[in-house]
Amino acid sequence: MRCQLRFAALGDSTTFGVGDPVHGGWRGWAALLADALDESYDVRFTNLAVSGGTTRDVLDPQLGSALAQRPDLASLIVGVNDTMKSSWDPVLVRERLLAAAA
């Protein structure tokens, strides 16, 4: 019997899979990683990322949903969309990234 591995992916379109179309939706790098891990583990994968996601989106609601699943592995790629807003605040984005990673 293989060990179970809970994997939660948080972030923006890079993780969501925009630009990587498959039949019926998007795939993305996190889904590819989950598939590769599934060769050794019984992977329970949840992609919480959203297209256009920002660090605020990760903190609420993505982080709470991820923590509720008690993941063994989590990924976090986000921040580019924050820089594209007129309210861009690098200190605030850093704080949010550190909070999410903690």
Chain Cα centroid distance, residue 53: 10
Task: Catalogue the E-assigned strands of 15-99.
Answer: 21-22, 25-26, 42-47, 73-77
Query: What percent of the chain lies above the pLDDT cut of 70?
Result: 100
Report residues of the chain scoring pLDDT below 50: none
* Strand-pair partners of 9: 47, 75
Look up the domain containing 65 and give its range.
4-101
| Bridge partners, residue 100, by sequence | none
Query: Chain centroid to CA 51: how far?
Result: 11
**This prediction's pTM:** 0.91
Q: What's the total number of domains in the chain?
A: 1
Which two tokens mark 101?
């990673």
The CATH number of whichever domain residue 28 belongs to comes to 3.40.50.1110
Sorted by sequence, the CB contacts under 8 Å of residue 85 that are 6+ apart come out as 54
